Amino acid sequence: MGTTTICSADRASLRAALILSLCLPGDVLLYLLLPMQYQAFGITLGEAGILLAANRLVRIFGYHYVMKGYARWGDRPSSMLAAGCAALCALGYATLSGFWALLLLRLLWGLAYAALNLSTQVMATAQAAGAARRSGRSRALVAVGPMLALPLGALLSLEHGPRLIFLAMVASSLLGAWLARGLPAAAHPLPEAQRRFRRPDSVAMWSFTEGLTLDGLFIIGLSLLAQQLLGADAVLVAGGLLAVRYLSELLLSPLGGLLAQRWGATRMLVGLALLTAAALVAFGCHWLVAGGGLVLVLRALQLPLVGPVVAERNPGQQRVRALAANAVWRDIGAGIGPMLAAVVLPLMAPVWVYALAALALAISALACAQRPAVRLPMVQPPAADQQVAGGEVR
């Protein structure tokens, strides 16, 4: 494999990650500002919860169509359109009020994110050589935008309210649309049509469980604890906590990719997931700083591993479809997780909640260690009416 090809894959992967990094802060800031200042958007707290979940729910049903459009059009037009939609959503967050108007924007952003996220994963795994390394760098670059936008948005919201910062996000997303002009324009061939709903494999089930436990139960648990400790500057403290999450991704995701490059993505995923399960138990036992910090560190190390594992097990034309399906299962888990947390955390002791979550995460990780059997093509015997002569079938 030529060095030029690998360098081209590196450049395309970094550009796709930079585009998502420029478009993502509008969504992240909404997670920070909407629950705290929902009155400024003309909605109730319950409606805010629905709006924050809507972008994930629409991806569960819409990823199939996004994948088909992305595969047909290629990265350049798909990412330009998605970044333009992100700019439109940010403009709507700055100017529109009311549940239904914001709901349409959240649904639009969910589909736009699906295209941008798919592009980053496909570009990172475009070449098998260096896929884990590219995935780590990609995750780190994606985290830069939210990490910088969260403290800035928190400060501006104190002085000027929660709307003004989204005008800056319009400019950021438009810059992403302009950068998308440099992405490859080639289409991504898909395999022959298959059943739309397929039984998830072990990696998809791990992604579902990880979304349920880490993006649901754990994040909500951290939020509940922070809510008890926050004072008058709640938005600043909450913004800082969310920024730490992305800072850990920035610093540690490249390391996760390098470790996977050396030791194997599947082996690293299983080992880190088992350590994360232990950290969840510690978090549930009220080791909030040590356990919670370790979960964030291990989560950042794991993020770049899923794409290479999926691509390794689904080579060729199967790769794009498998990456999209895996993202859907993660979204399902991340969508169920917050709702489950709201039900079980007030009723059960944290040690039991996070012990059960840790057990589910460990079981799903160990299942990933079992490689799927490779099915060899069956050799058809010669037909009865074929004549064999000289060792050849004629």
Query: What are the φ/ψ torsions at residue 228 (nearest 5 degrees)?
Result: -75, -25
Identify the residue with better confidence: 194 or 51. Answer: 51
Going from N- to C-terminal start, the domains of the chain cover: 11-184+200-368
pLDDT at 381: 42
pLDDT at 192: 62
Rounded mean pLDDT, 192-211: 77
One-letter amino acid identity for 83? A
Mean pLDDT of the chain: 81
pLDDT at 390: 39
Q: Residues of the chain with pLDDT > 70: what percent?
A: 85
Q: What is the CATH number of domain 11-184+200-368?
A: 1.20.1250.20
pLDDT at 378: 38
Q: What is the pLDDT of residues 362-389, one digit of tens each?
A: 999 999 887 654 443 433 444 444 443 3
pLDDT at 73 over 80: yes
Rounded CA separation 25/10 (Å): 24
pLDDT at 377: 40
One-letter amino acid identity for 386? Q
Identify the residue with better confidence: 251 or 391. Answer: 251
Answer yes or no: are the C-beta atoms of 317 and 147 closer than 8 Å.
no
pLDDT at 373: 47
pLDDT at 385: 41
pLDDT at 88: 97
Rounded CA separation 49/338 (Å): 10
Q: What CA dihedral angle connects 58, 60, 61 and 62, to 10 degrees? A: 70
Question: Which of 162-171, 196-205, 206-215, 232-241 has the lowest average pLDDT?
Answer: 232-241
Q: What is the pLDDT of residues 104-154, one digit of tens each?
A: 999 999 999 999 998 998 898 877 777 778 888 888 899 899 888 888 888
Rounded mean pLDDT, 252-274: 84
Rounded mean pLDDT, 173-183: 95
pLDDT at 172: 96
Question: Which of 154-158, 239-243, 314-318 has the lowest average pLDDT?
Answer: 239-243
Most confident listed range (51-60, 179-188, 231-240, 378-387): 179-188
pLDDT at 370: 74
**Confidence band for 1, pLDDT divided at 50, 70 and 90:** very low
Answer yes or no: are the C-beta atoms of 102 and 111 closer than 8 Å.
no
pLDDT at 156 over 80: yes
Most confident listed range (205-214, 285-294, 366-375): 205-214
pLDDT at 112: 96
Query: What are the φ/ψ torsions at residue 388 (nearest 5 degrees)?
Result: -110, 130
For 294, residues 6+ apart whose C-beta sits below 8 A from its C-beta are: 275, 276, 279, 282
Rounded CA separation 312/322 (Å): 10
Rounded mean pLDDT, 57-67: 85
pLDDT at 236: 62
pLDDT at 285 over 80: yes
pLDDT at 109: 96
